[in-house]
Amino acid sequence: MARVSQEHLDARRRQILDGASLCFARNGFHATSMQDVLKEVDLSAGAVYRYFRGKEELIGAIVSEVLETVGDTYERAAQETPPPLPDVLIPRTLARLKEVKSGVLDSGEWVFPRLMIQVWAETLRNDELAVVMRTGFDKVCAAWAKVVESYKAAGLMPEEADADAMARTMIALAQGFAAQLAVFGAVPADVLQNGLRALMSMRTPDPVA
């Protein structure tokens, strides 16, 4: 029997994950069956179950991949001199996610924001997924903290700035914007960047004499 290449195995795994992402984003996690996934990817049950034992493993793999992508983007940013400011870095991160999770629904709507909301909801009732989410989130926070330390080293932020607090705030901002995309639909790409720049331009007013 001919040996299957790693490239083929990776491509098949990618096909399954992308198809499952479309199904979950379209109909929700609980309304999607493994039969729906099989139909979407046009593969046999044996071909899919070779990679994933069920929906839980699929959603866990999707979450891990997304969080790894986000963390890697921040890790790379921390190594830049000077590191990109939030008004550049956060839109860059969403753009990178759009490369990794590029799927769209029949309406043209980007899959990822809808998928993100489905994952959050499932995390509240699925302890195993919650562990995956927590582990990935901690890694993303740690990567953001490295960006903050790079800001300090470049003189862009005071030494006493709380790296963890900023990391959580910036992550929440990106998550909240993605949630808006899911609920209200697409907005111009520069809205997030312009909003961040406006926030970053605020200054404490001089005291009245």
pLDDT at 1: 45
Instruction: For residues 132 and 134, give the distance between their C-alpha atoms in angstroms, rounded to a whole number.
Output: 6
- How would DSSP label each residue in 150-167? HHHHTTSS-TT--HHHHH
Q: What is the pLDDT of residues 10-48, one digit of tens each?
A: 889 999 999 999 999 898 888 899 999 999 999 999 989
Instruction: For residues 190 and 183, give the distance between their C-alpha atoms in angstroms, rounded to a whole number.
Output: 18
Q: Which of the four pLDDT bands, split at 50, 70 and 90, describes residue 208?
A: low
Residues ≥6 apart with Cβ < 8 Å to 44: 38
Q: What mean pLDDT comes out for the span 106-114? A: 89
CB 51 within 8 A of CB 121: no
- DSSP collapsed to 3 states, 98-147: HHHCCCECCCCCEHHHHHHHHHHHHHCCCHHHHHHHHHHHHHHHHHHHHH
- CA 144 and chain centroid, separation: 14
Q: What is the mean pLDDT of the chain?
A: 89
The beta-carbon contacts of 96-105 under 8 Å, at least 24 apart in sequence, are 96/69, 96/70, 97/66, 97/69, 97/70, 100/65, 100/66, 100/69, 101/21, 101/66, 103/18, 103/21, 103/22, 103/25, 105/22, 105/25, 105/26
